[in-house]
Amino acid sequence: MLKTSLKLSESDRAVIKLLHAGNPVIFEELGKYDDAQGNMLLAKQHYEQAINYDRKNFALYQRYLWMILEKRDYQEANRVLLTMAFDYLPASLASQLSKNQNDIHHLSESDQYEAFNILQTESVPELYFAKLFYLYGLYKLEANPALAEQFWQLALDCYPRLGVLYAELASLKLNTLNKPVEADIIINECRKIPEASLHCRNIFDDLSNLTYPGDLRESILHHQ
């Protein structure tokens, strides 16, 4: 790790980059160093280089994202999030996220910060995005349930094996949006996926067994 007390000259940096070209660990260390020195432009450049060398290192992406969030740069954070989506999600889902960028801007900065903070340790990319969109929907549940519905559908598309997500979306459609037919369709979809059906089997026979939207928050966020 580069000591923040060190003062790297341009020639020092050039030598380090030459000797360690292609090494994501070293370039991340340069990013951390520049961040500590207050040079965010260089910090982002070095993190971007590190990611280019190791695009499938999800933890590296998360550390970069968190560095940006600590500066409360939400526009840049959402740009990085979109890049992550195209690296880890099917192209159709990543494209959907791109189309939903305006919807994300409806979220408060404090809600976005809290969501990213909660998910710092989530190591499964698809589950990370599913939980993130679930939280986004949760934050808009009262003010804009139709937007919450969109976010929860996106969460389900990201990780269709999580049965409690079906239960939450079905509950939202039934109890808040008055769409009982669509709620029943969601539960029937859950039946078709063995791993998901294990989580929502108790609501197969009677939609009245559905909890209220948001009640399954802890079950979703703690799913491994």
**Which of 157-161, 171-175, 181-185, 197-201 shows the lowest per-residue confidence on average (mean pLDDT)?**
197-201
Q: What is the pTM of this model?
A: 0.89
Q: Please give the mean pLDDT across all residues of the chain.
A: 89
**Residue 210 covered by a domain:** no
In a domain? residue 199: no
Reading the block at residue 75, the tokens are 């526009």
Average pLDDT over residues 100-120: 88
- Residue 118 above 90 pLDDT? yes
pLDDT at 109 over 70: yes
Q: Is residue 72 part of a domain?
A: no
Using an 8 Å Cβ cutoff, are 45 and 54 in contact? no
Phi and psi at 187, nearest 5°, equal: -65, -40
- Determine the pLDDT at residue 43: 93
Q: Would you say residue 164 lies in a domain?
A: no
What pLDDT score does 191 carry? 86
Residue 182 is assigned to a structural domain of this protein? no
| Residue 129 predicted with pLDDT over 70 | yes
Backbone angles phi, psi at 130, to 5 degrees: -60, -45
Count structural domains, the chain.
1
Does residue 171 lie within any of the structural domains? Answer: no
The answer to the question of residue 180 being in a domain is no
- Whether the per-residue pLDDT at 179 is higher than 80: the answer is yes
| Mean pLDDT computed over 97-125 | 89
pLDDT attached to residue 21: 77
Higher pLDDT, 75 or 208: 75
Q: Which residue has the tokens 């919807």?
A: 103
Q: Which of 71, 75, 101 is nearest to 86 (CA)?
A: 101
Q: What is the arithmetic mean of pLDDT over 146-157?
A: 95
Is the pLDDT at 39 greater than 80? The verdict is yes
Mean pLDDT of 162-191: 93
Return the pLDDT at 68.
95
Q: For 47, phi and psi rounded to 5 degrees?
A: -65, -40
203 band by pLDDT with thresholds 50, 70 and 90: low
Contact present, 130 and 165 (Cβ < 8 Å): yes
* Residue 4 pLDDT exceeds 60: no
Task: Give me the percent of the chain exceeding a pLDDT of 70.
Answer: 92
Terminal-residue alpha carbon distance, the chain? 31
Provide the token pair at 111.
Answer: 């809600």
Residue 37 lies in a domain: yes
**DSSP type of residue 131:** H
Enclosing domain of residue 9: 1-54
